[in-house]
Amino acid sequence: MPLILGTNSIKDTGYNVDNSLRFNDGSSDCLTRSMSSTSTSWTFSAWVKKCKLGDGNVGTTNYLISWGNSGSDATGINFTRDNKLAYYSEDSPDNIFIETDAVYRDVSAWYSVIVKCNGGAITIYVNGESVKTGTGGNPLDTSTMNIGKWVTSAYYHDGYMAEVVFVDGTAYSADSFGEFDEDSSIWKPIDVSGLTFGTNGFYLDFENSGSLGADVSGNGNNFTVNNLTSIDQSTDTCTNNFATANPLIANSNVEYSDGNLNTYHTFSGQWRSTISTIGASSGKWYAEYKISAVGTEVSVGICDVKTITQTSANDFIGKFTDSVGYVNSGSIYKANSVAQGSLTTYTTNDIIGIAMDLDNNTIQFYKNGSTIGTTTSLTADKTYAFGVAGYGDARILWNIGSPAFSISSGNTDGNGYGNFEYAVPSGYYSLNTKNLAEYG
C-alpha cells in the first residue's frame, strides 16, 4: 500500500506552493472558461494528488483538463480507467489516444503531470521524466476549456490539483515547471510566473479563496467556478503533502469523498477500518476527527501500519495488534482489551483529538478540547498511522491538518501548519511531509 515515511519528504523545498484545490467527483466540481483563438502548440502542467482510482470501468476515467465543442469534437488529458495517464483527442473519424505504459495508483503522492503539443507531436512527462510520445495532437480551438472534467458532463476529477498552468503557443519541456532536488533527487516545482503564457494561457494558484478561478498569469483568463467553495481550498500541496485516509486499505464497505477526508462506513453488521496515508515511527503528532454520524458504532485512534491490510480491515481500531482506539461508547481499547473504561461517550458533531507521542510511546485522547482519561502506552519501535473504524452508516470527517469541513477557530501547530478546531498540544505537529522531514 502507498505510504509516506520520513525518507520520502523534503523539508526545504525552495519554492513553496501554498494552496491547492480539492475536487470531488460526486459534486461535479469543475472550472470552465471560453477560449478566444486557435493554436497548434501548447503546454499543460499541473500537480495532481489522486483520491479515487480507476477500477477498469469507463465511468472511473478521471479528467484533469479538456476542451472542445462536443463529445465528438474534444481533447483532454486524463487518468484512464486503468490508472494510466493519457492524451485523448476525439475528432471523428480519426481519434487519437496516447497513453503511458506505467500505471499511477499512489493515493499518498503528488504527481507532476506535464503534456506538451509541438505542432502535433505529443510528449507526456510524469515527475520530470518523459514517459510517452506520440503524434496527432489536436490544436486549441475556440471552444470551452474545462479544468477537472471531460467536455461533456461526465468523468470528473476526484482529488487535488495545484499549480495549474496552460501555455498557448509554446511547447515547453518539463524543466520549465520543475527540477530535481539536489539532495533527494525528488522532482519539485519551481516558480513559473516568468513563462510566456500566450493568448489563452493561464496560471491558477488557488490562493484567493474568494475567487478560486482567478488567473494570476497577467492575462486575466479567469475561470467560472462550478460547485467549488472556499472550503475546497486546501493547504495540502506538492511542497507540503498532508495525510488523508487511504482508500487502498478498506474494502467496498467504506466510501471515500472530499479529498479522502470523509469516510462513510456503510456495512451494517461488521466493523470496517482504514488508516492514514502517512505513518511515523518517531515524533509527536496530532489529529482531529469530527463525528458526522455515529451509525452503530465508531472507533478512532492509531494502528501499526503492518497490522492492517485490505483483507483484514473488518475489525475496529483498538482490536488490531498494536492499535489503540477510543470507542464512542466510552472505552479505550488496546489490542482487543479495555485499557480504560467508563469514560465519557461521544456522539454526532463531537470532535475527538488524538495526540500520538512516538518518542515516549504514549497516546492521549481529547473530546472537544478536553483530555479523556490518562495516557495509554504504545508498543515501541512500530510505525503508526492514524485510523478510524465504524459500521452501520457511521461517517467520520478527518482533519490531520487540512480539513474538508469548516473550522471556527483555526489553530496551527508550532511550525504554523494545520488548521485545527482546538489548540494543538505543545510540541505536537500535524502529520505532513515538511514536519515529517524534521521530526519523523
Residue 7's pLDDT is 44
Question: Higher model confidence: residue 338 or residue 96?
Answer: 338
Question: Higher model confidence: residue 71 or residue 363?
Answer: 363
- Farthest CA pair distance, the chain: 71
**Contact, 104 vs 179, CB < 8 A?**
no
Residue 359's pLDDT is 97
Asked if pLDDT for residue 209 goes beyond 70, the answer is yes
Provide the CB-side half-sphere exposure for 74 (13 A, CA): 19
Adjacent-strand bridge partners of 218 = none
The mean per-residue pLDDT over the stretch 252-270 comes to 92
Which 8-state DSSP code applies to residue 137? P
The mean per-residue pLDDT over the stretch 419-440 comes to 96
CB atoms within 10 A of CB 276: 29
H helices of 180-261, in order, are none
The mean per-residue pLDDT over the stretch 168-193 comes to 95
Asked if pLDDT for residue 119 goes beyond 60, the answer is yes
Instruction: State how far the Cα of 83 lies from the Cα of 126, in Å rounded to an integer.
Output: 13
**R_g of the chain, CA atoms, integer Å:** 22
Instruction: State how far the Cα of 277 lies from the Cα of 249, in Å rounded to an integer.
Output: 10
The mean per-residue pLDDT over the stretch 93-119 comes to 92
In the structure, what pLDDT confidence band is assigned to residue 154 with cuts at 50, 70 and 90?
confident
**Contact, 275 vs 247, CB < 8 A?**
no
Closest by CA position to 133, among listed 146, 121, 120, 143: 121
Give the model confidence (pLDDT) of 33-66 as tens digits. 998 877 889 999 999 999 999 998 888 899 999 9
* The domain made up of 15-234 is a member of CATH 3.40.30.10: no
Instruction: State how far the Cα of 60 lies from the Cα of 189, in Å rounded to an integer.
Output: 28
Which 8-state DSSP code applies to residue 7? G
> Is 98 strand, coil or helix?
strand
In the structure, what pLDDT confidence band is assigned to residue 2 with cuts at 50, 70 and 90?
low
Which 8-state DSSP code applies to residue 60? G
Instruction: State how far the Cα of 341 lies from the Cα of 297, in Å rounded to an integer.
Output: 16
Asked if pLDDT for residue 92 goes beyond 80, the answer is no
Give the model confidence (pLDDT) of 9-25 as tens digits. 666 778 999 999 999 99
Instruction: State how far the Cα of 285 lies from the Cα of 386, in Å rounded to an integer.
Output: 9
The amino acid present at 157, given as its one-letter code, is H
The mean per-residue pLDDT over the stretch 325-339 comes to 97
**Contact, 422 vs 351, CB < 8 A?**
yes
Domain boundaries, the chain: 15-234, 254-439
**Contact, 77 vs 282, CB < 8 A?**
no
Asked if pLDDT for residue 310 goes beyond 70, the answer is no
Closest by CA position to 334, among listed 310, 311, 365, 309: 365
Give the model confidence (pLDDT) of 383-394 as tens digits. 999 999 999 999
Provide the CB-side half-sphere exposure for 440 (13 A, CA): 27
CB atoms within 10 A of CB 106: 18
429 exposed, middle or buried (CB, 10 Å; 0-12, 13-18, 19+)? buried
Q: Which residues lie below 8 Å from residue 220, measured CB to CB, with a gap of 6+?
A: none
Instruction: State how far the Cα of 283 lies from the Cα of 362, in Å rounded to an integer.
Output: 11
Question: Higher model confidence: residue 275 or residue 6?
Answer: 275
For residue 270 the three cell numbers come to: 461488521
Residue 6's pLDDT is 46
% of residues, the chain, pLDDT over 70:
95
Instruction: State how far the Cα of 326 lies from the Cα of 315, in Å rounded to an integer.
Output: 14
Q: Which residues lie below 8 Å from residue 246, measured CB to CB, with a gap of 6+?
A: 1, 2, 3, 107, 108, 260, 274, 275, 276, 277, 385
Q: What is the CATH number of domain 254-439?
A: 2.60.120.920
Asked if pLDDT for residue 432 goes beyond 80, the answer is yes
Q: Which residues lie below 8 Å from residue 359, measured CB to CB, with a gap of 6+?
A: 282, 283, 284
Closest by CA position to 2, among listed 248, 206, 181, 192: 248
Fold match flag (15-234 vs 254-439) = yes
**Top mean-pLDDT range of 88-102, 299-313, 337-351:** 337-351
Torsion of CA 186, 192, 195, 197, to 10 degrees: 110
Give the model confidence (pLDDT) of 137-152 as tens digits. 777 777 899 999 999 8
Residue 186's pLDDT is 92
Q: What is the mean pLDDT of the chain?
A: 93
Residue 285's pLDDT is 98
Adjacent-strand bridge partners of 134 = 122
For residue 225 the three cell numbers come to: 467556478
% of residues, the chain, pLDDT over 90:
82
* Helix, strand, coil fractions of the chain, as percent rounded to 5: 5, 40, 50
Question: Higher model confidence: residue 400 or residue 72?
Answer: 400
In the structure, what pLDDT confidence band is assigned to residue 279 with cuts at 50, 70 and 90?
very high
